Amino acid sequence: MIESQRHSFHLVDPSPWPISGSLGALATTVGGVMYMHPFQGGATLLSLGIIFILYTMFVWWRDVIRESTLEGHHTKVVQLGPRYGSIPFIVSEVMFLFALFRASSHSSLAPTVEIGGIWPPKGIGVLDPREIPFLNTPILPSSGAAVTWAHHAILAGKEKRAVYALVATVLLALVSTGFQGMEYYQAPSTISDSIYGSTFSLATGFHGFHVIIGTLFSIICGIRQYLGHLTKEHHVGFEAAAWYWHFVDVVRLFLFVSIYWWGGI
């Protein structure tokens, strides 16, 4: 066990999850390409690949929880890995979303003559930013405030309160996602409506996808907190979730200002 090793690092046991994740990624990419070109079986391979990746994530992270919380391998130095590693991951997500924002600016700041040199293009039904978007915009930061509340509760050792705070975080996030779904459903234009639809849908859609991932992460944290996994000194998973959630939050604000508000006038 950990007492028998004379160093504070974690040498992991051999695991099949890296290879299974890679095979899942291979299936997803090949299946995706097959699906988008006229090859038989593309959709099946794509879905199998995605399911495989999701399964790998589940079992890999379950193993991490087992090794850390239940077996005690995550000493202070081991914790630095996931903690500081989450930061480059979030930065990579920022870069991805930055590319989508850039696409939107590229098309909207100097609209081409093919769409009439104006933005939004003629005939595109634009959502009024003062309606659902404006409603959704304070909901996500409130969720961010709730996750901060949860963090303070964890640090203060108030376990039950932390569970309530995480429930509030998740509920607000779900409400926001629900509103966003409603907005998409009754929006006057779609993804296929001109470059406006493409850039709008990609930016808001991928942001929404990240919201869903963040919500899932927060739900898992809530469950773990409920089960007593998180202590006031050791809650790296929760911190990563909170950072990710704040990032999603900030992106939402940029989204509102640049795409909903500025892009619609």
Phi, psi of 157 (to 5 degrees): 80, 10
Per rule CB under 8 A, is residue 3 in the interface with another protein? no
Per rule CB under 8 A, is residue 265 in the interface with another protein? no
In the complex, minimum distance from the CB of residue 113 to another protein, in angstroms, rounded to a whole number: 4
The single residue among 18, 85, 116, 125 that binds another protein, judged by CB under 8 A, is: 116
CA–CA distance, 100 with 137 (Å, rounded to integer): 19
Cα torsion through 178, 184, 185, 186, rounded to 10: 110
Nearest to 171 by CA among 133, 213, 139, 132: 139
Indicate the residue among 120 and 214 with the shorter CB distance to another protein.
120
Size of the site for another protein (CB under 8 A): 9
The single residue among 24, 121, 208, 237 that binds another protein, judged by CB under 8 A, is: 121
Indicate the residue among 193 and 239 with the shorter CB distance to another protein.
193
Per rule CB under 8 A, is residue 114 in the interface with another protein? yes
The single residue among 1, 11, 118, 265 that binds another protein, judged by CB under 8 A, is: 118
The Cα-based distances of 184 to 5, 127, 129, 138, 169 in angstroms read 55, 10, 13, 18, 23
Indicate the residue among 49 and 121 with the shorter CB distance to another protein.
121
Per rule CB under 8 A, is residue 122 in the interface with another protein? yes
Which residues lie closer than 8 Å to 148 by C-beta, 6 or more apart?
242
Which residues lie closer than 8 Å to 227 by C-beta, 6 or more apart?
none
- Positions that interact with another protein (CB under 8 A): 113-118, 121-123
